[in-house]
Chains A and B, each alone.
Chain A
Amino acid sequence: MNVRKIVTYVEEIRSEGGRPVSPPARVAVVAAIIENPWAGQGFVEDLNPGIDATASDVGALLAPEVLDALQGPAEAYGKAAIVGLDGEVEHGSALIHTLKFGDHFRKAANATTLLPAVEKRGPAGVVFDIPLKHITDATIRSHHQTIEVRIPDAPHPNEIVIALAAAAQGRPQQRLAPLSTEQ
């Protein structure tokens, strides 16, 4: 795995809707900009060798970093794969839609649910939103949220941005009735 750069992005919300948020609401993203393992190879039918060579390593790199950046336990989480213009979205999906990638984060965060994800292809500087859901119960509505990310010079055409996101809480000022009240 060739990593060019690690980018960390942390938001700390102190007020929302004109009211204080206390303690502040924190959401962190850590992204690794890596070389697309299939760059320059044309259409590769069997993605498994590339997945085996990369997915676990990038998951192991990002999971502790995003929890460090959050500086507290995660209650919601999500993931992203943003493929540079010369690659396939399937390449990004290959690296994040495998337990080899996600289990590092699940284990580190004591989480059990599937990680919600964004997969897209775009130029360097493309804006992407990472969806987050609760780490043990994806139906907990208070924790449905997204964080917006932009990395000015990534992904290059032969690169993939792989990111993990973690939130220490649900939405600031969350006040929607739980799903169970509608069932």
Chain B
Amino acid sequence: MQERIQDRLHPSDLSDQSRYSDSSALADEGIGLRKLVLHQEAVLTEAGQAPARPARRASVAAVIRNPWVGSGPGVDLAAEQLRIAPALAKLLTDRLVGALGGVDAVEAFGKAAVVGTAGEIEHAGALIHTPYFGNLVREYLEGKSIICFADTRAEAGETLVVPLWHKTHAATRSHYQTVGARVPDAPRADELVVIAAASTGPRPHPRIGDRLTDPVVTTKTLEVVPS
């Protein structure tokens, strides 16, 4: 019999529990929010063996109305970006931290967006590639690294593979990993899905070395390797 998952907080431990019952708050958070989706994985065994450092990976996706649908490429994205991106950064990182057991538990992070078919990929970028989202996600998750990302334009139900790397040491190879994010009925053509993702540790069995252990590899050093 497997033990219960070790590091999940009991609901009563969540300081922000009130948000689930506070019906006075705007249901759509003032940003056209339709739904939030949490995907989380805990690997208990991989290749038949328990990881030395078990990690939990999670993504949280927010489905919002695309505020720029119908506007042309000449339109300035700044105003809506300033209004929406910080709210998403707070909402998504709150959920991530709640799911993964606290900000100290988060070791790796990533971000992503899917724009519906009536929007531009630039609309996705406007919400994840500027300081109004990225800097705040980094601050809320207490990281230093630039945040790696994925984005695409797609029909509802597209699965996005969200890349993650270490939140303070991006070159830490053991923490290069991905987590899936998918909302079955989003994005509609006029919607955007914005995603923040994180992991509490490395891949299950990391053993591909690191920059510190790598030999010098150039085309010249490889010439001595028999082919």
Q: Which A residues contact B (CB, under 8 angstroms)?
A: 1-16, 20-24, 26, 57, 60-61, 64-65, 68, 71-72, 125, 127, 148, 150, 152
- Collect the chain A residues with CB atoms within 8 Å of residue B40's CB: 7-9
Most buried by B among A16, A24, A57: A24
Cα(A102)–Cα(B41), bound, Å: 23
Secondary structure of the A contact surface, majority rule: strand
Q: Which residues of B contact A20 (CB under 8 A)?
A: 26-28
Least Cβ–Cβ distance between A109 and chain B, in angstroms: 15
Chain B min CB distance to A156 (Å): 11
We find that the number of chain B residues with CB closer than 8 angstroms to chain A is 38
Contacting A at CB under 8 A, from B44-71, are 44-46
B111 nearest CB across to chain A (Å) = 19
Whether the Cβ atoms of A61 and B2 lie closer than 8 Å is yes
Bound-complex Cα distance A26 to B20 (A): 9
B26 to chain A, nearest CB (A): 8
Contacts A11-B35, A14-B34 known; list 12 others, CB within 8 Å. Answer: A5-B42, A6-B41, A6-B44, A12-B38, A15-B28, A20-B26, A20-B27, A20-B28, A23-B20, A23-B21, A60-B1, A68-B11
Within the complex, the shortest CB–CB distance from B160 to chain A, in Å, comes to 10
Structural contact, A24 and B27, CB atoms closer than 8 A: yes
Complex formed: what's the CA distance from A105 to B27 in Å? 30
10 closest Cβ pairs, A-B complex: A20-B27, A148-B184, A8-B40, A10-B38, A12-B36, A22-B27, A6-B42, A14-B27, A71-B11, A22-B23
